Structure 1
Amino acid sequence: PLAEHLAATVGRLERITVSTFHGLAERLGTEAGFIGPDPTRDGAYFDSLADVLDRALAALPEHRYDAIVVDEGQDLDQEWWLPLLDLLRDRERGIVYVFGDANQDLYHAREPDELGVVMPDAPSVYYLTENRRSTRAIHDFALRFSSQTDGPPSVALGPDGRRPEIFTYAEGDADGCRRVLGTALRTIVDSGRVPASDVVVLTPRSNRSSWLMRADGSPVEAWPYRLMPEYGPEGAVLPPPTKGGQVRVATIHRYKGLEAPVVVLAEIDERVAESDLAPLLYVGATRARSHVVVVCSEALAGRIG
């Protein structure tokens, strides 16, 4: 979503390219003749794109840049860095900025400096320690799931705010999860007098495995609210819901880089792998500006609350 926003704004400026790694590799690979029409976009295909980009750059020497800015650097696979840096017109004088947060490593990519291509012997590392988005209550809650072991601690500059709320359901109870989510939404919107348009429901589950999605990929009812998709069929961000009974829903992964006044983290249960739990909670909670609500299984409530 952030990439789409940038592509629609600064991406229209001359001499600026906004793309994902895979999107850039596909575009140059196609231009160089290494990708045919209608490729099968399976796991093996995406795994091959780093090599495709490497070969495409050898065939297209005119496709180079003076500066590269990488966002979500913690998510890039190790083998992506060499072809990515080969995009520089001048490897010695070219400019590279990498923004990353180890706490948001949802894909468990290896550190880029293992190859010594991103972090040289004397790197310039700057720590962005001021949290200007969230309340102190949200900041303190998110820090419980932080994996940070070095660098200065972050500081919240916002107001104190409300403590995060926890709503629970029995393990494996899909109907119970939806019912409790509806209760949480009523508490937020009706009792808290928060506009439904200020609330987003985030889930760690994909459309195929989420209890909040029907078989056709459309959201279910969270009575009395209707969950509305955040993104259209092609991944474009849809306009905010305009009706009072509509609440946006998206995956935690897709909502990275975005924010909302109130975030409801749903389907936090034993289906989440142990290694994924902390980064998912950290990323999800830090999307919120004013309040966080967690809808989780009874078994995990003690660890979260």
Structure 2
Amino acid sequence: RQGLRVAVVCYSRGLAEWMKRRVAGFGHKDRPDFVGTFHTLGEQWGVHVDSPNEDRDYWIRDLPRAIADAAAHQPETSRYDALIIDEAQDFAPEWWPTALAVLSHEDSHLHVFSDAGQRVFDRESQAPEGLVPIHLKQNIRNTRQISQTFNTLGEDGLRAAAFDGEDVRFVEATHDTAREVADDLIDGLLEEGWQPADIALLTTGRRHPVHDDAIAGQTQEEHDAYWDSFWDGDDIFFGHVNGFKGLERPVAVLALNEKPGRDQARERLYVGLSRARDLLVVVGSSAQIEDIAGPAVRRKITGD
């Protein structure tokens, strides 16, 4: 409304697609000029993502540098007066110079939303100096029962939500059997009256076979179709917690199927526990949960 040229970015494809669909209904004056993943920020300037590309240096260094170089050759009117970054804890340190490069001038606005407790990628990133921190104090997504399972896992500790819902359900299983046990619970949820579109089955270790099959060729078309299946709203969604950050469904069945001792296990647990709005079902080893997050969190999840 102020006539600013605004870009809104994040790291994950799923969240980027949610934001695109959300702003599509905005009026022209309220709609950002760009909404998408950080790595597609340069497409408007001719820097296209080379997909599939499994070279880590390409995503961490080469592509961001290409975007920054392209931005440097654009007039101020083609760069942005404001950049909004969501899930900024996913950002690599090398990406911040690119984020600053796409801004049109020194007085441009930079707004960063982050939760270090959900840093599921092994990247120690620090936002530029000079940002004024504003802390969210209370959970506003999940029920009280769900939010109590993870409200101590973040760095700042959120207050639990104020509204009640169903108790969290826990099913004991080993990490080797958690995914299969989670599969077996789906029919029971449908019999209770939940619709397929209400349910997400999320893994913390290996992807679910349905997820694997959907993106077997790792093509852009497959990834687009995979995320379209989430938005189509007519079936159960099978995903991994790393790609589901920022997203939600009324019911989340969380299969803790990763091997013990992996890095970022606490962060993946935090993300997985917080994806359900109304009903959370956790399938895994209570001993492994305690190893990851401590006895208090284990008791909140298992109800012991």
Give the letter aligned to residue 83 of structure 1.
Answer: T
Deviation at 1:247, TM superposition (A): 2.5
Task: Decide which of 129, 136, 160 is 1:128's aligned counterpart.
Answer: 136
Deviation at 1:85, TM superposition (A): 0.9
Deviation at 1:18, TM superposition (A): 1.1
Q: In 2, are the aligned partners of 1:65 and 1:89 still within 8 Å (CA)?
A: yes
Question: Per the alignment, do residues 234 and 186 of structure 1 end up closer, same or farther by CA in structure 2, a change over 3 Å counting?
Answer: closer
- The residue aligned with 1:200 is 200
- The residue aligned with 1:60 is 74
- For residues 292 and 135 of structure 1, the distance between their equivalents in structure 2, rounded to whole angstroms, comes to 10
- For residues 36 and 171 of structure 1, the distance between their equivalents in structure 2, rounded to whole angstroms, comes to 35
Task: Decide which of 204, 209, 213 is 1:212's aligned counterpart.
Answer: 209
Tell me, which stretches of 5 or more residues in structure 1 are unaligned? 220-229
Deviations 1:49-108 (A, max 9, x none): 1221222222223431111111111111111111211222121x2111111111111113
Task: Decide which of 10, 17, 22 is 2:39's aligned counterpart.
Answer: 22
Task: Decide which of 217, 220, 225 is 1:233's aligned counterpart.
Answer: 225
- For residues 51 and 276 of structure 2, the distance between their equivalents in structure 1, rounded to whole angstroms, comes to 39
Q: What is the 5 A alignment of 1:67-146?
A: 67-91=82-106, 93-113=107-127, 118-120=128-130, 123-144=131-152, 146=153
1:263 aligned counterpart, secondary structure: strand
Deviation at 1:162, TM superposition (A): 3.1
In the alignment of these two chains, the number of paired residues is 268
Tell me, which stretches of 5 or more residues in structure 2 are unaligned? 1-13, 217-221, 292-297
Deviation at 1:278, TM superposition (A): 1.3
- For residues 254 and 38 of structure 1, the distance between their equivalents in structure 2, rounded to whole angstroms, comes to 17
Q: In 1, are the aligned partners of 2:139 and 2:161 still within 8 Å (CA)?
A: yes
Deviation at 1:215, TM superposition (A): 6.4
Deviation at 1:202, TM superposition (A): 1.1
- For residues 93 and 138 of structure 2, the distance between their equivalents in structure 1, rounded to whole angstroms, comes to 29
- For residues 188 and 104 of structure 2, the distance between their equivalents in structure 1, rounded to whole angstroms, comes to 55
- For residues 163 and 247 of structure 1, the distance between their equivalents in structure 2, rounded to whole angstroms, comes to 21
Q: In 1, are the aligned partners of 2:211 and 2:239 still within 8 Å (CA)?
A: no
Question: Per the alignment, do residues 284 and 177 of structure 1 end up closer, same or farther by CA in structure 2, a change over 3 Å counting?
Answer: closer
- The residue aligned with 2:249 is 260
Question: Per the alignment, do residues 289 and 255 of structure 1 end up closer, same or farther by CA in structure 2, a change over 3 Å counting?
Answer: same
* TM-score, scaled relative to structure 2: 0.75
2:79 aligned counterpart, secondary structure: coil
Q: In 1, are the aligned partners of 2:179 and 2:257 still within 8 Å (CA)?
A: no
Higher helix share: 2
Deviation at 1:195, TM superposition (A): 3.1
- The residue aligned with 1:224 is none
* TM-score, scaled relative to structure 1: 0.75
Are residue 247 (structure 1) and residue 202 (structure 2) matched? Answer: no
Q: In 2, are the aligned partners of 1:74 and 1:101 still within 8 Å (CA)?
A: yes
Deviation at 1:218, TM superposition (A): 7.9
Q: What is the 5 A alignment of 1:136-215?
A: 136-144=144-152, 146-148=153-155, 150=156, 153-173=157-177, 177-178=179-180, 180-190=181-191, 192-205=192-205, 209-213=206-210
Give the letter aligned to residue 25 of structure 1.
Answer: G
Q: In 1, are the aligned partners of 2:175 and 2:259 still within 8 Å (CA)?
A: no
Q: In 2, are the aligned partners of 1:167 and 1:184 still within 8 Å (CA)?
A: no
Deviations 1:100-125 (A, max 9, x none): 11111111322324xxxx232xx421
Q: Mean alpha-carbon deviation: is it higher for 280-289 or for 246-255?
A: 246-255
